[in-house]
Structure 1
Amino acid sequence: MSEGNKLVRMANQIATFFHSQPASEGPDGVATHINKFWEPRMRRQLFDIVDNHGGEGLDVLVLAAVPLIHRPPPAEVPAASR
């Protein structure tokens, strides 16, 4: 399973939980969980899926949460890789 597919599955599992909660809590709940527990690298990958792949495979609740998720700064390229 590719890293992107695993990340989509994880995000969708969070959304599945929040589908059982009141609708008004869904996007904020998904975003709060991702902001609190996902490291910047994972959030960068999520934004890559949204920005470059149209959010392919992501639950509608995850997509609704995207504006509330903290976008991390771009990863720094190590000097040796330049």
Structure 2
Amino acid sequence: MHIEKLIKMANDISEFFNSESDKELAAEGVKNHIKRSWDPRMRQQIIAYCQQDGKELTPLALKAVQKLV
């Protein structure tokens, strides 16, 4: 899958959880959603992107992906 699509998906998920005032809890929610719903190859791609750059991810999405490692 193209990394641009994964970035958009991760950012969209983070938008949903962003209303949570506890950002640690919100990041856990994003992480858990990605862990449950994404194919392992998709997770590996977004993790690799995060480790290389990650600048297009929202701060919440970035925090969540870092927790996947």
TM-score normalized with structure 2 length = 0.86
Question: Cα RMSD over matched residues?
Answer: 1.5
Map Cα deviations across residues 3-62 of structure 1 (whole Å, 9 max, x no partner). 11110000000000011123242110000000110111100110121122x202001001
Runs of 4+ in structure 1 deviating by more than 2 angstroms, as ranges, are none
Number of residue pairs matched?
Answer: 68
Alignment of 1:13-24 (within 5 A): 13-23=12-22, 24=24
CA distance in 1, matches of 2:2, 2:55: 14
CA distance in 2, matches of 1:32, 1:9: 17
What corresponds to 2:50 in structure 1? 50
SS where residue 41 of structure 1 aligns? helix
When Rg is computed on C-alpha atoms for both structures, the one with the higher figure is 1
Structure 2 portions without partners, runs of 5+:
none
- 1:67 is displaced (CA, Å) by 3.3
State the identity %.
Answer: 37
SS at match of 1:67: helix
Measured in 1, the distance between the counterparts of 2:20 and 2:64 equals 14
Residue number in structure 1 paired with 2:8: 9
